Amino acid sequence: MSTLIRRTPSPISTDDPFTGLVRRMFNEPIFTPAMMSGTWVPAVEVSETNEAMLLTAELPGIEEKAIKISIDNNVLTIAGEKEEERSDAPPAKNYYLTERFCGAFQRSFALPRTVDTERVEAEFEKGILKITLPKLPQAKGKVIEVQAK
């Protein structure tokens, strides 16, 4: 399961801006735990409309056939693999910095009971995966008009 990390920025001291900046620099993580472990975790965005929940994931450099989406016990899982572009031949260039990740990934999300798992749709274009999770009819709510007597 994915976890959310809540960060509360510490205020910069008004008495000594440099001390406050240094305190913030050491108290707030720059990298996520996934980045520090060397694993790649695609960024996602989850939003909601009256009709559906929408999950959008950034999967740059991944082929459509390398993405697997499944739902089991109301848990949506996105898995795939980003191939490494380097070859086994002797390097023609030296790398001084690389922030591009490759390898297998997997993200799982617990779905609310209001999602109609039989009608889920996914589309992939230009490295962006969009999953539409329609709501069950009873989850959309109902407006009741008040009658005057």
Question: What are 56-99's pLDDT values in tens digits?
Answer: 999 998 999 999 999 999 999 999 988 776 666 676 777 777 77
Would you state the structure tokens that stand for residue 52, as one six-digit string? Answer: 């559906």
Instruction: Tell me if residue 34 falls in helix, strand or coil.
Output: helix
Q: Which of 124, 79, 84 is nearest to 100 (CA)?
A: 84
Provide the pLDDT for residue 6. Answer: 58
The answer to the question of residue 63 being in a domain is yes
Domain membership of residue 80 (yes or no) is yes
Residue whose C-alpha is closest to residue 67's, from 75, 78, 77, 57: 78
Whole-angstrom Cα distance, residue 50 to residue 77? 23
Q: What is the pLDDT of residue 12?
A: 47
**Residue 54: closest CA among 1, 120, 2, 103:** 120
Residue 13: predicted pLDDT: 45
Listed as ranges, residues in the chain with pLDDT below 50 are 12-13, 33, 35
The domain that contains 59 carries what CATH number? 2.60.40.790
Task: With respect to residue 124, please indicate whether it lies within any of the assigned structural domains.
Answer: yes
In a domain, 111, yes or no: yes
User: 23 in a domain, yes or no?
Assistant: no
Q: How far apart (Å, rounded) are the C-alpha atoms in residues 21 and 12?
A: 6
104 in a structural domain: yes
Which residues form the domain of 57? 40-85+100-138
Report if residue 115 sits inside a domain: yes
Which residue shows structure tokens 């999967």?
59
Taking the CA atoms of the chain, what radius of gyration do you get in angstroms?
A: 22
Number of structural domains in the chain: 1
Domain assignment present for 33: no
pLDDT at 69: 97
pLDDT of 103 reads 83
List for the chain the helix, strand, coil content (%; round to 5).
15, 30, 50
The rounded percent of the chain whose pLDDT value lies above 70 is: 68
What pLDDT, on a 0 to 100 scale, did the predictor assign at position 93?
76
